[in-house]
Structure 1
Amino acid sequence: MSSTSGKRGKREVHLSKALTYVLRHNAVELGFDIDSGGFINVEDLLSHSMFRQFTLDDIKTVVTDNDKQRFSLREHPDSGKLQICANQGHSFSLPDLELAAITDAAQYPTVVHGTYLKNWEAIKNQGLSRMNRTHVHFAQGEPGESGVISEGLSFFLSKNGVILCPGDQNGFIHPRYFKQVIQTRPRECQLIISM
């Protein structure tokens, strides 16, 4: 890799992290006008001290090249101004975040949540917690159990294909809904689910 592409890569990672920090967690505290769908005007973002070293092209590159498709751009329906939002992962509520409700478990027979082994004991005892976010995050996985939707937990699909669930009234998904738990590092093995 040339030093130019290495610097460009570091610059994109820095911008992506800064966008995540603002769009998912701290827009209001930093004085941004964020709408109910999580969108901020790009020109406002670029005029903020955190983003002055970046250009519109930098933002477009991060949006289009990010492998997890964390961000979306749109033109504001009234003003035509370019806006950006995080597709999911917010720590504050957005009533108009574009999520599609999943009502048929057959559409996504299994969802997979990745975490660290050090969290297993707490998860085994309490369930998965959304913690400081608005949803527990899942990836689409192998065929599995479909009982969670029929028992009242809501699931949604974000624009970038992440499956989201707010959990129960306390923000948890109980371990009784886990079909299996697999440790992948340092070697793959199935963990015991005992309840």
Structure 2
Amino acid sequence: MQLNEPLQKKLSRFMALILRHRPEVIGLELDHEGWCELQVLLQKIQKSSPTWRTLNEENIRQVVENCNKQRFTIKNGRMRANQGHSNKNVEVQFSKIIPKQNLYHGTSKRAWQKIQSSGLLPMNRHHVHLSADIKTAVKVGKRYDKNPILLKINIEKALADGIQFYISENNVYLCEHIPADLLEMCTDK
């Protein structure tokens, strides 16, 4: 099967749905860290829709390699999403890290109202996602608001308060919660 760019995006989104949130959509079972056999994933996707009937392993590898967000990892014939899980049966173990630079979070003006009192919460995911650069945080925020709010995390105080940071295989910084008093609105967009 030849995957043009629109089909690559469609497959990437479908795999993100399956591997992050709802593997049952195609009858797939993930292990406790979100892994599944690549060949089983391929077979289940092929059976899920006529669009994917002729999908092959090379197509999946192409999507994994071409995904600028590096959402997925393939190792030893197995595959998983790198982060962003909401599936309660999956708990990916991430490497702990002490950030050496500023971290940012892009959000909408509407969400900012709640964030000011509750801080950054993972919502329906396992972790809050943070970016090491402003450009990425703004891009993420633009998914929710064409003029997003950019938040800067006070790393020094967060570490002093015992906030634990993690990093995913695709270099997304993660934590369980950032209290509101550790957030500063940033104008460096």
Give TM-score scaled by structure 2 length.
Answer: 0.78
1:128 paired to 2:133:
no
State the structure with more CA Rg: 1
- What count of residue pairs does the alignment treat as equivalent? 164
Alpha-carbon separation, structure 1, partners of 2:74 and 2:163: 30
Is the CA contact (8 Å cut-off) linking 2:73 and 2:81 kept in structure 1? yes
Taking the TM superposition and a 5 Å limit, the aligned residue runs for 1:72-83 are 72-75=73-76, 82-83=77-78
Higher RCO, 1 vs 2 (CA within 8 Å, ≥6 residues apart): 2
Question: 1:166 matched to which residue of 2?
Answer: 176
| 1:72 match: secondary structure | strand
Is the CA contact (8 Å cut-off) linking 2:130 and 2:172 kept in structure 1? yes
Any gaps of 5 or more consecutive residues in structure 1?
76-81, 168-172, 189-195
Alpha-carbon separation, structure 2, partners of 1:163 and 1:56: 30
Is the CA contact (8 Å cut-off) linking 2:21 and 2:85 kept in structure 1? yes
Give the CA deviation at 1:10: 0.5
Identity of aligned residues (%): 28
Any gaps of 5 or more consecutive residues in structure 2?
135-151
Give the CA deviation at 1:150: 2.3
Is the CA contact (8 Å cut-off) linking 1:117 and 1:183 kept in structure 2? no
1:149 paired to 2:159:
yes
Relative to 1, partners in 2 of residues 1:21 and 1:117: Cα closer, same or farther, differing over 3 Å? same
Q: Deviations over 1:37-56 (max 9, x none)?
A: 21111111121223434211
Give the CA deviation at 1:183: 6.1
Alpha-carbon separation, structure 1, partners of 2:121 and 2:30: 26
Alpha-carbon separation, structure 2, partners of 1:98 and 1:58: 27
Relative to 1, partners in 2 of residues 1:183 and 1:19: Cα closer, same or farther, differing over 3 Å? farther
Alpha-carbon separation, structure 2, partners of 1:29 and 1:108: 40
Taking the TM superposition and a 5 Å limit, the aligned residue runs for 1:180-191 are 180-182=184-186
Q: Deviations over 1:124-178 (max 9, x none)?
A: 12211210000000011379541112212221000000000112xxxxx211001
